[in-house]
């Protein structure tokens, strides 16, 4: 008998399987070939200081080092670089933002994340003289999520684990007290990691979801001088390979479908034109839906009536930094090695109205 069937092999399912495999568990995947996966188009930026007020991301002191360690483990398994440590270069074009930052500069909690590398003249040459100041943060980087999930699938198949490439059919799931059966798969439990599609999961549709659609551009920028930095000025410019860059993204809670729209194409190209004083060529425009939830904390736990039906979701807009730690924590909990952290346990939702 299998230990777990994992439904969804995006970032959440892949990371969870990594930690379950480390415990010697026998798993199987069901995934519809990454149709609609947020992980397939995400920049994967890990950014410890965010927002207008420059606050440290939630629990970043423990989550970020754990993420870097986990991606190094996965790189060793796959023989592929997926983590690219890069400074985040924040560009300020108005005095108010610049002053906001100066007011935060002396906060000792931020000290480890700030560098003195911001070269204003160099940034002005590429982004225009209206860049009045800025800062570069460290302990940041990009995780190549699209490469990770594709290569992880190949690895799982090569290792001989079952992998059903299909839409999960809830009518085919039989749930018993000590096992679940899905087609020819028999397992002790099942873990749903379906990203935003969890809204349609009959076992977990009762949880609060507030998915956010994101659109981004793939852009060629010949001779762009900041390949080693992730420049942020409303949108991010992140180097992928050769002259190709990830540019984005939009963030919309109000959307009708998961496809790219003309409106966001225009918004993103206008923002890029305003930011970058260099020629560029848009080569693709993609969209996906982030599995964001009301209180922006992951969803970990079990169905209230079926103790062998689990969920690992809610990685929101920060999956690459928060995913590894909580995938490991969830694997420990599934293996009865720890209590579930109350901040991420879905039982907390009774109090979320
Ligand atoms: C434009 C954009 C930019 C982003 N940028 C960043 C960033 O810079 N940094 C960062 O940390 N995060 C970023 N994110 C968020 C990041 O993508 C998510 O946090 C993370 O990828 C979520 O992973 P997941 O596995 O939960 O969901 P997903 O990646 O959506 O994976 C779910 C998987 O389940 C499969 N699936 C769903 N339903 C079924 C079903 N019924 N049957 C079979 N298979 C199913 C899907 O096909 C998919 O493969 C971004 C997202 C977007 C859209």
Distance CA 249, CA 270 (A): 12
For 174-220, what is each residue's pLDDT tens digit?
999 999 999 999 999 999 999 999 999 999 998 989 999 999 999 99
Q: Model confidence at 65, in pLDDT bands (50, 70, 90)?
A: very high
214 and 271 co-located in one domain: yes
Ligand 1 atom showing the smallest separation from residue 314 Cα: 26
219 and 317 co-located in one domain: no
Q: Which residues contact 158 (CB under 8 A, 6 or more apart)?
A: none
203 and 218 co-located in one domain: no
**Residue among 168, 205, 319, 323 whose CB has most ligand 1 atoms within 8 A, to mutate:** 319
For 83-93, what is each residue's pLDDT tens digit?
999 999 999 99
CB 287 within 8 A of CB 259: yes
For residue 270, what are its two tokens? Answer: 């206008």
pTM of the model: 0.97
267 and 221 co-located in one domain: yes
Predicted local confidence at residue 33, as pLDDT: 96
The rounded mean pLDDT for the chain is 95
Domain range enclosing 105: 86-141+210-290
What is the whole-number distance in angstroms between the Cα of residue 152 and the centre of ligand 1?
A: 15
Predicted local confidence at residue 161, as pLDDT: 98
114 and 215 co-located in one domain: yes
Predicted local confidence at residue 24, as pLDDT: 98
- Of 266, 290, 314, the domain-final residue: 290
Residue with tokens 């069901």: 30
Ligand 1 atom showing the smallest separation from residue 318 Cα: 11
**Residue among 5, 6, 7, 8 whose CB has most ligand 1 atoms within 8 A, to mutate:** 8
Predicted local confidence at residue 111, as pLDDT: 86
Q: Is 318 in the pocket of ligand 1 (CB under 6 A)?
A: yes
3-state secondary structure of 98: helix
Distance CA 294, CA 296 (A): 6
Whether residue 53 is predicted with pLDDT greater than 90 in this model: the reply is no
Q: Is 167 in the pocket of ligand 1 (CB under 6 A)?
A: yes
Predicted local confidence at residue 351, as pLDDT: 56
Q: Is 144 in the pocket of ligand 1 (CB under 6 A)?
A: no
Distance CA 231, CA 272 (A): 11
């Amino acid at each position: 008998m299998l230990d777990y069937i994992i439904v969804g092999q995006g970032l959440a399912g892949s990371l969870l399987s990594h930690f379950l495999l480390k415990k010697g568990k026998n798993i199987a995947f069901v995934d519809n070939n990454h149709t609609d996966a947020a992980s397939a188009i995400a920049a994967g930026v890990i950014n410890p200081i965010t927002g207008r007020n420059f606050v440290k991301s939630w629990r970043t002191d423990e989550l970020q080092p754990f993420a870097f360690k986990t991606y190094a483990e996965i790189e060793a398994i796959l023989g592929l670089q997926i983590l690219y440590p890069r400074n985040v270069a924040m560009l300020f074009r108005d005095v108010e933002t610049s002053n906001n930052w100066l007011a935060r500069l002396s906060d000792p909690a931020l000290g480890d994340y700030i560098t003195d590398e911001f070269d204003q003249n160099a940034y002005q040459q590429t982004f225009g003289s209206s860049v009045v100041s800025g800062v570069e943060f460290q302990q940041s980087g990009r995780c190549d999520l699209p490469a990770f999930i594709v290569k992880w699938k190949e690895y799982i198949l090569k290792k001989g684990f079952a992998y059903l490439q299909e839409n999960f059919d809830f009518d085919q799931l039989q749930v018993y007290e000590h096992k679940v059966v899905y087609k020819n798969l028999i397992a002790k439990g099942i873990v749903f990691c379906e990203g935003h599609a969890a809204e349609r999961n009959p076992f977990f549709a009762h949880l609060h979801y507030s998915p956010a659609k994101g659109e981004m551009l793939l852009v060629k920028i010949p001779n762009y001088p900041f390949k080693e930095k992730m420049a942020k000025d409303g949108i991010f410019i992140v180097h992928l390979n050769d002259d190709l860059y990830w540019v984005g993204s939009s963030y919309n809670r109000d959307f009708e479908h998961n496809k790219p729209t003309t409106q966001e194409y225009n918004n993103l190209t206008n923002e890029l034109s305003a930011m970058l004083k260099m020629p560029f060529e848009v080569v693709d425009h993609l969209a996906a839906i982030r599995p964001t939830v009301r209180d922006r904390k992951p969803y970990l736990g079990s169905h209230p009536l079926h103790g062998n039906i689990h969920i690992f979701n809610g990685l929101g807009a920060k999956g690459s930094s928060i995913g590894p730690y909580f995938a490991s924590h969830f694997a420990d909990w599934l293996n009865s090695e720890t209590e579930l952290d109350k901040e991420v346990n879905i039982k907390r939702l009774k109090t979320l109205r």
